[in-house]
Structure 1
């Protein structure tokens, strides 16, 4: 039976946010408008907010944008932020604080003893031109991408919208609880006060809005510069990757992956007059590509290797002196990905030696394998079932791809915390990363009710323990 979700003020807010982010998508490390917009709203809600360079400091970024790209997207962000009602002075403040970096970490510290619960959301769009067919909802409802060649073809616009609305909800509920506590001495008994304060307003609430998930670049930078303390429970999510109207409490089977670019440098020569004077970078890259398809794979476990792009040469009558290839490897486990990466690098080295060229490898992305914590997944599943908004509820399933949320999950687990990655099954047009991709916005209402239930539910069984005396 189809569940009808009443669109209250929060549901409507999620959709408004989603359509705004969808209309103005930003790729990779260039999420300047989204950073300003989210940071401004969360600061007003009462969060302690950190942005850009305050998070990443001097961390070297993998596959960074050019200065020209940064300038272009910063200028767009400034104009759009002002259109959205953020004052010129505040925009200038956020731009200065970001210092050419993006991303948000927002913290609500209740000052009451309790766990740190973090919620992570990816921000970036893809460099995929959005389909403009008239029957698509973004076209009919006029929130089609306005940034040429860039679109939210993976659902991150929905993730940001959910994260921002839920963060504002948490801040509002906390504000109400503080007000109620302030009234206690004159109006209520201490026991009554304790009955009203639930564990979910103890400890710290942390919201992480991470750029550059596509290409698995962002999370490693965040992890390397992490200065925000231990996370006890981490919640990640993704729209899709599950059947329509199905909720998955804790995904597993994230593939570890490595992304790297290889440049070969040889020596040019006249292809007719004296080809022997050249050193052929194109042949070296081609040999490496073919050899990488031929080395033996492990007998067990999922492994992947792909050369996604190969460019070489200068002219028809010239021995190619330059070649570039972009490569990725994946593995069901970290050691499997390491094997694939090492074998690929060995093929590259041998191919370079064969044709007497030099080469350089630059790593552009990295993620690890991960499994959601079973106990926390069980708690999430119980909370989800209480919402009653999905038709099917599943404890776990294989994700089957890579996501650098796994890097955060691994970090939390290394700290002794627990992490889950939830999947929100939805009606979807096309597939992720396709120009026609879109999702039924009903999943946003379901997702918000899920997060709301996670907030309300006494997951940690700490009720009454967080009252300061």
Structure 2
């Protein structure tokens, strides 16, 4: 749900240093170029080439082709110190854009409908600034431009390819432009920010027949309907009420005619939860329920269950770092939103499992300019003022972490 009832908070541009404010037109240009040329996961070849060209022009050491299309760049300060990684995802979505803007997608059926064009732009802006101000930090900044966040997931392949090594990363941060929060706000919290994502598909096999002679059949629709209803008891009666969780059946396909009892039914859905202690639990409980309902009716089933992403869990000290920086960039207390959890998922979670880190939301909605459509909507867009804010936040995190 987009919080369109919230007006954008006052954006104090004075809190954004002059060099970054001066960079704003360039940020907008880069973002619009990326928006016009979106690419799906693991196909971000032109995006990666664009990033690499910029890094090369600025004299920034970087490696291309990490986990197919990913890029890892290194910027060293003038003194030795720890390593802070900054992650930005690059991929777009299979959506036909409906925005009528000069920078609308030029790729039929592909669109940056989740803000990843902004994430790449903020990463590039941060790289540009830091490469010209190496005296401001001690240690190394590792910029990770990651493919395929929208699926099937590029974080694990990048970690496997050594993105967090050589040099070893001590901490990691990342942000998501967030149209669920108004411009001028930042959502940051310790602990769980985003949910685990698990997916399932189930085929229930009954016995088809004539709709007027049900005693000769095993009605897969009746069995499937009972399964859907019974699955809702997991959250209602098996999960601790203090813990949030969702079991959603989003697909139910069965039947070919009004007077034919369906031979089989096909269900598919998703599971979301914050508490990592529930890992493996929902798979077990869902199969128990499906097996029990099917057995009671004489039906059989096949279940395919897949764990996609674990929950996004922020490290307390890294969340404190981001929070302290946010307080200097946005108006407080109105500008900080501590309770900003979402059941959406993110493969940033794999980076956060590997090293201490913090993922946070940067408010980007501006209803007054009709820039408040939700993520993954064909008219999604955001207020580009947030680009400079993102660079400022990352730069201040670097300077504070690598002091």
| Equivalent residue, structure 2, for 1:152 | 112
Is the counterpart of residue 411 in structure 1 residue 354 in structure 2?
yes
Taking a change above 3 Å as real, the CA distance of residues 379 and 263 of structure 1, as seen in their structure-2 partners, is closer
Contact preservation (8 Å) 1:14, 1:444: yes
1:214 to 113, 132, 150: 150
* 1:24 aligned residue: 37
Partners of 2:251 and 2:268 within 8 A in 1: yes
Partner of 2:72: 105
Q: 2:235 aligned with 1:329, yes or no?
A: no
Per the alignment, residue 14 of structure 1 pairs with 27
Q: Is residue 2:87 matched to residue 1:120?
A: yes
8 Å contact kept, 2:183–2:386: no
| 2:320 is the alignment partner of 1:378 | yes
Aligned residue among 229, 242, 245 for 1:303: 245
Contact 2:91/2:149 (<8 A) preserved: yes
**Which residues of structure 2 form unaligned runs of 5+?**
1-9, 367-371
The secondary structure found in structure 2 opposite 1:148 is: coil
Take 1:227 and 1:162, find their aligned partners in 2: how far apart are those partners? Answer: 19
1:92-119: CA deviation from partner (whole Å, max 9, x where unpaired): xxxxxx3xxx333333466964211100
Contact persistence 1:213–1:404 (CA under 8 A) = yes
Partner secondary structure for residue 253 of structure 1 = strand
**1:422 corresponds to:** 360
Question: For the structure 1 residues 8 and 298, does the alpha-carbon distance in structure 2 shift closer, same or farther, using more than 3 Å as the test?
Answer: closer
Q: Is the 8 A contact 1:267 1:319 kept in 2?
A: no
- Counterparts of 2:400 and 2:378 in 1: how far apart (Å)? 41
Distance 2:95 2:269 in 1: 19
State the distance in 1 between where 2:396 and 2:72 align: 23
What is the distance in 1 between the residues matched to 2:226 and 2:41?
A: 31
Give the TM-score, by structure 1 length: 0.68
State the Cα distance separating 1:158 from its structure 2 match: 0.9
* 3-state SS, counterpart of residue 10 of structure 1: helix
Q: Deviations over 1:236-259 (max 9, x none)?
A: 111124443123454643243232
Residue 192 of structure 2, aligned match among 253, 258, 261: 253
Relative to its length, the structure with more helix (as a share) is 1
Equivalent residue for 1:163, pick from 98, 123, 142:
123
1:48 counterpart = 2:56:
no
Decide whether the 8 Å contact of 1:105 with 1:206 is kept in 2: yes
Q: Secondary structure at the match of 2:193?
A: coil
Matched, 1:398 2:340: yes
TM-score (norm 2): 0.78
Conserved? CA contact 1:256–1:337, under 8 Å: no
Root-mean-square deviation over aligned CA pairs: 3.5
User: Deviation string for 1:155-183 (max 9, x for gaps)?
Assistant: 22211111122223333444xxxxxxxxx
Of 205, 229, 250, 1:266 maps to: 205
Decide whether the 8 Å contact of 2:319 with 2:358 is kept in 1. yes
Are residue 357 (structure 1) and residue 300 (structure 2) matched? yes
Bigger strand share: 2
Asked if the contact 1:251/1:421 (under 8 Å) is kept, the reply is: no
SS of corresponding position for 1:159: helix
Measure, in 2, the Cα distance between the counterparts of 1:389 and 1:398: 17
1:460–1:37: structure 2 CA closer, same or farther, 3 Å change rule?
Answer: closer
Question: Shift of the alpha carbon at 1:293?
Answer: 1.6
Per-residue deviation, residues 125-151 of structure 1 (Å, max 9, x unmatched): 33343334xxxxxx24x1122333433
| Cα distance, 1:390–1:299 mapped onto 2, change above 3 Å | closer
- SS in structure 1 opposite 2:86? strand
